[in-house]
C-alpha cells in the first residue's frame, strides 16, 4: 500500500522525457509468462508509469529461452486476452499495446532455428535476440545469417550487459558488419546494472550502432528506476541528440 502511494506521488512529478522515443520495443509486461509482470494489476500499474514517462506505444516481448520455453500460439492468445482486459479497464490513457513479439535467446541451451516455428517479431520482421549473460561456446553468427537470408532483421538486446562481449573484440564488430543492430537498455545508461554496462552503453551509442533504447521493464523496481532516470542530465541529452529509431516501429 505504502509502495503504491509512493509510486503515485513519484508519477505525479515525473516528466514525460521518453516522449522523444514514443515507443518501447522491449518489455516484459505480459502477465504471468516469465520473470516480468506477475499479474494483470501489475501490468496495469506498469503501463501507467510508462504513460507518465511519455510512451505512446508499447510492444510486449516475453522471453523465449530454456527457462521460459513459451510457445508462440499461447503467447498470442494471452496477448489478445490482455488487450481486451486493458480496453475494459479504460485503457485510453495508457500507451497503446502495439503488438506482441519475443525476446529470443540464442545460447547453448536454447536457439530458435530458421526452419522451426515462426518467431514473433517486431514490425518489418525484426527479431529481438539476446545472448546468455555468461557467454556461450560461440556466437550464433551462422544461425543469424540464416535468419537474415529468410528476410529477418536482427536486433541484439542489451549488448552492454554481456560482460564477455567487449566492444573492442572482433565478435561484436562481426555482428555489426553483418547488419545486426543494437538495442541498449535505458536503465543501463543510469548505472542500474553497474558502471561497466553504463559505459559500454554509451560507447555503443557513440559508435552509431544503436537503433533502439528499451525499458526491459519487468516490475515496479524498474519503473521506479525509470522515473528517477527521467532526471539524469546525460540521459536527457542523449535522448535529445541521438536519433534513435523507436518511433519508426
> H or E segment at 116?
none
CA angle 8, 96, 198 (to 5 degrees): 65
Closest approach of Fe ion to the CB of residue 157, in Å: 6
34 near Fe ion, judged by CB under 5 A? no
- 63 or 243, CB closer to Fe ion? 63
Closest approach of Fe ion to the CB of residue 1, in Å: 29
Closest approach of Fe ion to the CB of residue 193, in Å: 12
Residues listed for the chain: 249
Residues 89-108 that bind Fe ion (CB under 5 A): 103
Q: At what angle do helices 40-53 and 2-13 cross, to 10 degrees?
A: 20
- 211 or 216, CB closer to Fe ion? 216
Enter the C-alpha cell of residue 24: 518501447
- Are 159 and 139 in contact, with CB atoms under 8 Å apart? no
- 84 or 221, CB closer to Fe ion? 221
Closest approach of Fe ion to the CB of residue 12, in Å: 28
Buried b (16+ CB within 10 A) or exposed e, 25-61: bbbbbbbebbebbeeeebbbbbbbbbbbbbbbbbbbb
x-marked contacts with Fe ion along 101-140 as a string, rule CB under 5 A:
--x-------------------------------------
Closest approach of Fe ion to the CB of residue 67, in Å: 12
Residues 174-233 that bind Fe ion (CB under 5 A): 216
Under the rule (CB under 5 A), what is the footprint of Fe ion?
103, 216
Amino acid at each position: 500500500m505504502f509502495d503504491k502511494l509512493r509510486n503515485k506521488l513519484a508519477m505525479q512529478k515525473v516528466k514525460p522525457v521518453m516522449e522523444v522515443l514514443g515507443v518501447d520495443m522491449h518489455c516484459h509486461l505480459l502477465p504471468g509468462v516469465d520473470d516480468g509482470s506477475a499479474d494483470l494489476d501489475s501490468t496495469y500499474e506498469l503501463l501507467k508509469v510508462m504513460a507518465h514517462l511519455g510512451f505512446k506505444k508499447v510492444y510486449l516481448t516475453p522471453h523465449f529461452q530454456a527457462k521460459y520455453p513459451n510457445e508462440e500460439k499461447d503467447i498470442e492468445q494471452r496477448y489478445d486476452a490482455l488487450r481486451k482486459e486493458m480496453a475494459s479497464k479504460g485503457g485510453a490513457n495508457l500507451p497503446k499495446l502495439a503488438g506482441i513479439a519475443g525476446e529470443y535467446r540464442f545460447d547453448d541451451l536454447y536457439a530458435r532455428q530458421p526452419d522451426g516455428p515462426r518467431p514473433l517479431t517486431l514490425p518489418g520482421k525484426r527479431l529481438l535476440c539476446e545472448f546468455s549473460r555468461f557467454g556461450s561456446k560461440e556466437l550464433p553468427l551462422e544461425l543469424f545469417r540464416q535468419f537474415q537470408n529468410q528476410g529477418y532483421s536482427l536486433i541484439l538486446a542489451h549488448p552492454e550487459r554481456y560482460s564477455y562481449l567487449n566492444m573492442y573484440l572482433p565478435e561484436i564488430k562481426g555482428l555489426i558488419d553483418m547488419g545486426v543492430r543494437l538495442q541498449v537498455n535505458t536503465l543501463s545508461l543510469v548505472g542500474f546494472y553497474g558502471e561497466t554496462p553504463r559505459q559500454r552503453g554509451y560507447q555503443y551509442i557513440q559508435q552509431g550502432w544503436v537503433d533502439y533504447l528499451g525499458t526491459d521493464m519487468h516490475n515496479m523496481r524498474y519503473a521506479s528506476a525509470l522515473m528517477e532516470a527521467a532526471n539524469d542530465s546525460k540521459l536527457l541529452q542523449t535522448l535529445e541528440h541521438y536519433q534513435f529509431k523507436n518511433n519508426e516501429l
